Amino acid sequence: MIKVDIISGFLGAGKTTFIKKLIKEIYLDEQIVLIENEFGEIGIDGTFMHDSGIEITEINSGCICCSLVDDFETSLVEVIEKYHPDRIIIEPSGVGKLSDVIKAVNEVNSDELSLDNHMTVIDAKKCRLYTKNFGEFFNNQIKYASLIILSRTEDITEFQLNECIKIIKEHNNKANIITTTWNQLTQETLVAAFDHSDNLRNQLFNELDICPECGHNHNHEHHHNHKCKHEHHHADEIFTSWSKQTPKKYTKIQLETILKKLSENSNYGNILRAKGYVDSFENNWLYFDLVPGEYEIRIGKANFTGQICIIGEKLDEQKLNNLFDEVA
């Protein structure tokens, strides 16, 4: 049997960072293939992970649970035939619904796959904001998780942490919630959290009554019709992405000025995530990550060209293009 893990979580929650930790500390003896589904057109994460020798299959420009469901099945079957790994880790796009991804995995026509952990990474700092603004996606990722991992707990007050846990428990009061900051999470503590989630998963599955049409859990016929009509949005009805490939060089200060504007200014649309890498005037490239209110620039290896990817709501493509092109 090939085990399948799904690691969901909203845009920028820390999925990729957590997967790296899992591979290094929990799955170190297993042969792993990672299937990444990016909502944007460019697979940015792939380049980071390749260095650790993990096979990566990327499915970009849409969502494996709606527009790319056939591509997803094809990729899974290809991965099984080509690599016969011990485990396949699926990283859905941040705007995917976990119930849809579980459903897509269950529908793949193969006796070799068995769904193992389906966990969700939640940015503890943004829990309240995201449940309010993007609840349809965010709450679904909470509800269907067998294990929940909080990120950025080092940056929040006890009050914020309790509030975040309260929100999570409103949607899922069974899953273990990992609240420890990631640099303190040891192999033993992770294993303990996973063991508990093993028991829970079976329980959760019995309770999952997933609608065959829309992938949602509905217990009553009446609710069923209502919810399918009014609540089931596809990610691309709400979120948009803008990508650009560019050979342009930036100084660190120039890139910082751009990211600062993106994180503080609503002129460009509601920016929820930006990431990519660009050439610099030094002998290295600048890799960047942005979520609302914070950004990070790291030094990295050259790539074949620079790539920028932005995801948000109502993005102003012209203004974004000018921002990256007309650098002072």
User: In whole angstroms, what is the distance from residue 175 CA to residue 145 CA?
Assistant: 7
d(CA 5, CA 27): 11
Interacting positions 90-119 with ligand GTP (CB under 6 A): 94
Q: Quick one: which segment of 102-110, 202-210, 213-221, 289-297 binds ligand GTP (CB under 6 A)?
A: 289-297
Side by side, the strands of the sheet bearing 32-37 are 55-59, 32-37, 87-91, 2-9, 113-123, 147-151, 176-178
CA-wise closest residue to 242 among 312, 178, 291: 312
Give the span between the Cα atoms of 77 and 109, in whole angstroms: 8
The yes or no reply on residue 289 touching ligand GTP (CB under 6 A) is: yes
Decide: is 16 part of the binding site for ligand GTP (CB under 6 A): yes
61 binds ligand GTP (CB under 6 A): no
* Site for ligand GTP contains 273 (CB under 6 A): yes
Is residue 9 a contact residue for ligand GTP (CB under 6 A)? yes
* Complex with ligand GTP: residue 12 or 215, whichever CB lies closer: 12
Using the minimum distance from each CB to ligand GTP, give the nearer residue, 9 or 215.
9
Q: Does 51 interact with ligand GTP (rule: CB under 6 A)?
A: no
Q: What is the CA radius of gyration of the chain?
A: 20
118: left (phi over 0), alpha (psi -120 to 50) or beta: beta
The residue (of 83 and 182) whose beta carbon lies closer to ligand GTP is 182
How far from the centroid of its chain's Cα atoms is residue 244's Cα? 21
For residue 292, state whether it binds ligand GTP (rule: CB under 6 A).
no
Closer CB to ligand GTP, 288 or 324, in the complex: 288
Closest to 61 measured CA to CA, from 190, 241, 308: 241
Binding of residue 14 to ligand GTP (CB under 6 A) = yes
Applying CB under 6 A, the residues found at the interface with ligand GTP are: 9, 11-17, 45, 94, 151-152, 182, 273, 275, 289, 291, 296
